[in-house]
Structure 1
Amino acid sequence: GGGGGGGTIDPGETLLLKAVDQQTMAQGFYHDRVRGDRLPRKLIMLDKSIGNPNKAADAERFMFTRSAFDEFPDLWIGDTDFQNLRKISNVGKQLDKFIWGNAELRDFYSSDGKPLKGILVKPENFDPKNQYPLMVYIYETLHSGLHNFRAPSAGTSISVPYYVSNGYVVWQPDIEYDTGYPGRDALKCVLPGIQMLIKEGFINPKAIGIQGHSWGGYQISYMVTQTNIFAAAEAGAPVSNMVSAYGGIRWSSGMVRQFQYERTQSRLGASLWEVPMRYLENSPIFWADKIQTPLLILHNDQDGAVPWYQGIEFIMALRRLNKVGFMFNYNGEEHGLRQEVNQKDFTVRMQQFFDHYLKGAPTPDWMINGIQAWKK
């Protein structure tokens, strides 16, 4: 407003608005005007992920990417109203020789009645008459990534297209939280989704794995103390003891960790001295004697977000209790693996771990004899 100076928008100009359907995660674009004297006009809506368009300098043409779980983000061009569309690159042709997967959005309810969504990815040669091993990946809410293309890659967490291509079904459920008991909230959201899929008949109920990193790693560490539904689990950089973690710092920044437990992601809602039992009840280490699930832990000695003594505390508890547990530390690595050689190494070992417990593959030597320090 004011006098039409720089930075103002002409009410008569046409605006290009990006739209996302919150129910289906379809994406597209609308035309509208600031003055709002008419409804926005739909230009395009697709069950795809559509990148922000770039306009040609001297023509009424857009260039943008379009992608889905099974569609590489190749380049497209078209008119500025998204008509006369044409694909001008074909990098995705490389996918043709691989067994890929198909992603779908599923609705379900938590055990206390909250409506939730999740992403279910099946192999493209899926046969509903078969029973598949199920890999569950968690963090918080994930369904907005339904149409994201993910190239197979080594790293800290599972590569969804790689696991699907190798005979797994992958489930990524949303998790929603109240204040006070985040581990319990995770159980309320994760277990009903799994039970829904088991009832549909194509999941082997004895071959269910779960994987997550950081906050996902914490939730998994807690859940395996409360349920035996998982045949194997991997927890990356997990907090296992909220009491000792509460009094620590983030080594990379020096920031105290107390705020995280009282007010942000850990969601306990009060200090250690106000609700001491809440800190104990939410800490996996105090329930470790209940664990019956083989557990793989990744925690690196230069982790600046979650001090790696959290992983040490947990693996020492598992060893003292004669539980099946393994821990990997890649010297000099941070919260997530950065060096390609380590990403590849851990990706292979995590796959061996899950293939053994979920698909009956032979036990790898490192699970029997460990890895000597001089061979790292």
Structure 2
Amino acid sequence: MNGLQDPELLMMGPYNYYITESQVGGGYYRFESPFQPLKATAANGWLIRRSSYNEAPNYYYTKDFKQFKALTNLAPQRNYNWLTAELVNWKMPNGKMGQGILYEPENFDSSKKYPVVFNYYLRLSHRMYEFPYPGLTDANINIPWFVSRGYLVFTPDIQFSVSAETGIVPGQSALDAVGSAAEYLSQRPYVDAKRMAIQGHSFGGQLTAYMATHSNLFAAACEVAGTTDNLMASLLMNGPWGSEVSTKMGQYEIRGGAWSGFGASIWERPDLYIKNSSVLNADKSTTPLLIMHNKKDESVQWRLGVAMYLAMRRNQKPCWMLQYNNGGHGLFTRQDMLDFTNRLEQFFDHYLKGAPAPDWMTHGGTVCNNN
């Protein structure tokens, strides 16, 4: 590209070549890390990394970004029942178009009925051609793990507004997006409309708790480290007891239309904080809820998980809570990740596949001695 000339199209295809740090998001999503193309110092050539949803990252050499010479041939996904990805568009209740990624197993059979798990945060559709790494679940569900076991996973984008201006709280924005996506996917003959679940972490956990207490669309829900009482969260310091570092107050009062901004303080618009607090709607919940929230959470107070658990149990609603002593805002040890992955799979298998409830759901108890 020289001067005022139009840019030249060099390549186009279903691949990912480079993502910036800002596109990566939190460390609790198992996608590839950024790799910036490297220019050779003594030659007109570049080292790049290419991947896609069904192609593990591999390195290539190119001189013109038209022809690529493969330098590696890593393909661990070939050893497993991998996945395919489809970009789905649908119309939401507000008339706007929604967008998300539907992951299906490689051995997909359109004559069968599949359960669906929805996972969300802000915007995830830009990850269409990123390679989702298989592994254990540390916060958000590991997509390849569940898809390879016969689940469909859908990751819809959510469009938020400033609540003080629109009257629409973040939880309702999520329900508008996820709920309409669920209804749209239900029209597909291979989607089991009676066996859909929601799962989210942190802000996604907050949205999960809201939807679990404001909708009867979902057969099960799992929220991890979510805010369940916005009044309490605004007036508490984040972090474990004795090591608090910040508060949610400024985050909630911002008017940027970002993820949890109400655009007003609790004294200016207490109605918005109350409306978005899922603990106050626990008595109306029809969705079995699994909570995972750790005492050492440095971002969202553990008390908010306990509050939701007590609210559900007080109203005789099906609810379970997991706590890991070595965890924080997510899980960090393989032992804890394996334990949570197994329990989450058992929980969803029970409500979405009709499997018997495991002992820990019927009798309580622990698997790891330190939890």
**Count of residues paired in the alignment:** 341
Shift of 1:368: 1.1
The answer to whether 1:329 aligns with 2:323 is yes
Separation in 1, partners of 2:95, 2:348? 31
1:205-231 CA-to-partner distances (Å, cap 9, x unmatched) read 111111100000001101111111111
Aligned residue number for residue 84 of structure 1: 67
Partner of 2:54: 70
Instruction: Quote the sequence identity (%).
Output: 37
Structure 2, unmatched stretches of 5+, are 19-35, 164-168
TM-score between both structures, scaled by the size of structure 1: 0.87
2:160 is aligned, of 164, 177, 181, to 177
Secondary structure at 2:214 match in 1: coil
1:261 aligns with 2:252: yes
2:91–2:98 Cα contact (<8 Å) kept: yes
**Which of 253, 259, 269 does residue 275 from structure 1 map onto?**
269
| Rounded Cα–Cα distance in structure 1 between residues aligned with 2:368 and 2:296 | 19
Residue from 171, 178, 201 that aligns with 2:189: 201
Corresponding position of 2:122: 140
Secondary structure at 1:218 match in 2 = helix
Alpha-carbon distance between aligned partners in 1 of 2:268 and 2:78, rounded to the nearest angstrom: 58
Unaligned 5+ runs, structure 1? 1-31
In the TM superposition, residue 201 of structure 1 has moved relative to its aligned partner by: 1.3
How far apart, CA to CA, are the structure 2 residues paired with 1:84 and 1:219? 45
The alignment's TM-score, normalised by the length of structure 2, stands at: 0.89
Deviation at 1:55, TM superposition (A): 2.1
Opposite residue 54 of structure 2, the aligned amino acid is D
1:125-274 matched pairs, under 5 angstroms: 125-154=107-136, 155-180=138-163, 181-251=169-239, 254-263=245-254, 265-274=259-268
The answer to whether the Cα contact below 8 Å between 2:119 and 2:200 also exists between their aligned partners in 1 is yes
1:16 alignment partner in structure 2 = none
Tell me which residue corresponds to 1:46. 13
More strand by share: 1
Q: Residue 295 of structure 1 contacts residue 325 of structure 1 at CA under 8 Å; is this kept in 2?
A: yes
Deviations 1:261-305 (A, max 9, x none): 111532211111111122111100111001111100010001111
Q: 1:98 aligns with which of 70, 76, 80?
A: 80
SS at match of 2:325: coil
Out of 311, 318, 326, the position equivalent to 1:317 is 311
Secondary structure of 1:82's match?
coil
Q: Encode CA deviations 1:110-130: one digit per residue, 9 max, x unaligned.
A: 211112210011111112222
Offset of 1:373 from its aligned partner? 9.3
1:156 and 1:347 in contact (8 A); partners too: no
Instruction: Determine the structure 2 residue equivalent to 1:57.
Output: 41
Say if 2:122 and 2:259, in contact at 8 Å, map to a contact too: no
Q: Which of 1 and 2 has higher RCO (CA within 8 Å, sep 6+)?
A: 2
Q: Quick one: structure 1 residues 374 and 57, their matched pair in 2 at CA, closer, same or farther if it must change by over 3 Å?
A: closer
Picking from 86, 91, 109, the partner of 2:91 is: 109
Instruction: After superposition, give the CA deviation of every residue in 1:327-357 in whole Å (9 maximum; x if it has no partner).
Output: 1111142111112211111111111110111
Does the 8 Å CA contact 1:150/1:160 hold for their aligned counterparts? yes
Q: 1:372 to 1:198 in 2, by over 3 A?
A: closer
User: 2:272 aligns to what SS in structure 1?
Assistant: helix
Distance 1:253 1:63 in 2: 44
Question: The residue matched to 1:189 in structure 2 has which SS?
Answer: helix
Q: Measure, in 1, the Cα distance between the counterparts of 2:279 and 2:118.
A: 22
Q: After alignment, is 264-273 or 40-49 more displaced?
A: 264-273
Rounded to whole Å, the distance in 2 between the matches of 1:271 and 1:366 is 41
Counterpart residue type for residue 219 of structure 1: L
Runs of 4+ in 1 over 6 A off after TM superposition: none
Find the aligned partners of 2:366 and 2:145 in 1 and give their Cα distance: 29
User: Secondary structure of 1:199's partner?
Assistant: coil
Task: Note the C-alpha offset of 1:169.
Answer: 0.9
AA aligned opposite 1:78: T
